Amino acid sequence: MPPARPVSLITGASAGIGAAFARDLAARGHDLILTARRADRLESLAEELRARHTSTVTVLPADLADPHAVSALCDALAARGLAVDWLINNAGYGVPGTFEANDWPTHEAFIRVLMTAPTELAWRLLPGMRQRGYGRIINVASLAGHVPGSAGHTLYAASKAYLIKFSQSLALENRHLGVHVCALCPGFTWSEFHDVTGTRELMNKLPGFMWQTAEAVVREGHDAVERGEVVHVTGGVNRFIKALVKLLPDRLALWLSGRESKRYRDLGEAV
């Protein structure tokens, strides 16, 4: 049985899907732990949620690109006596430009934030969930993890494919202990993501029906993990794209990905 007031840790909570998860879970009676790099945004969101709901909101700023950030974050949780029931691994971003256009520290930081940190958080917090017989882990992956990689965001699809496979194995290992794990796979979502990567102008060429709000993505993700769904692609359009790609020969799917890369990706120097 879930606790009367579950405690949820949300990474990348300062904007977009992370902030939408915070608002959704607070409305459902969760106490929250918010983490991201931008402390001012976290504090502003925390004040909003405390005013609107009865939630206790703890703000713990962290840069998950720091190799010691996750252990320090978990030490801070232990010092406050906070046991995490819901883990939302949402922190992420894109690195525009081809692989060689970026230096290694840029790629290393990306891998830490999108792959190493969510894996370590799950490893550190999962034992408590198993012991209590209840837990929810949502790894925010992407439709990109189901389709061929594209030029211009070289590591992005690879990192999301990792989260999908990681979630599947983790779910199989823990579902009999009351811990549900779900890889949430949105497509194009209205957020700051493309503004940060400098690709907003390119993304605006996409038709409106391909986009979802962060709130819609979160609602689907919450329902999916509660159902015990291990991988959930949000939105009918995205599910159609995933099904279509699976039916196409690999060479044709890769060719299509290459064509779309030229239209919607920054293939020039890193910004």
| Annotation says 264 is catalytic | no
Residue-level pLDDT at 269:
40
Domain architecture of the chain: domains with CATH:
7-264 (3.40.50.720)
DSSP the chain: ---SS-EEEEESTTSHHHHHHHHHHHHTT-EEEEE-S-HHHHHHHHHHHHHHSS--EEE----TTSTTHHHHHHHHHHHTTPPPSEEEE-------B-GGGS-HHHHHHHHIIIIIHHHHHHHHHHHHHHHHT-EEEEEE--GGGGS---TTBTTHHHHHHHHHHHHHHHHHHHGGGTEEEEEEE--EEESSHHHHHT-HHHHTTS-GGGEEEHHHHHHHHHHHHHHT-SEEE-SHHHHHHHHHHHHS-HHHHHHHHHHHHHHHS--SS--
Residue-level pLDDT at 149:
86
pLDDT mean for each 10 residues of the chain (271 residues): 93 96 98 97 98 97 98 98 98 92 97 98 98 98 92 92 98 97 90 51 59 93 98 94 90 80 53 28
Q: Which of 93, 134, 156, 162 is catalytic?
A: 156
Residue-level pLDDT at 112:
98
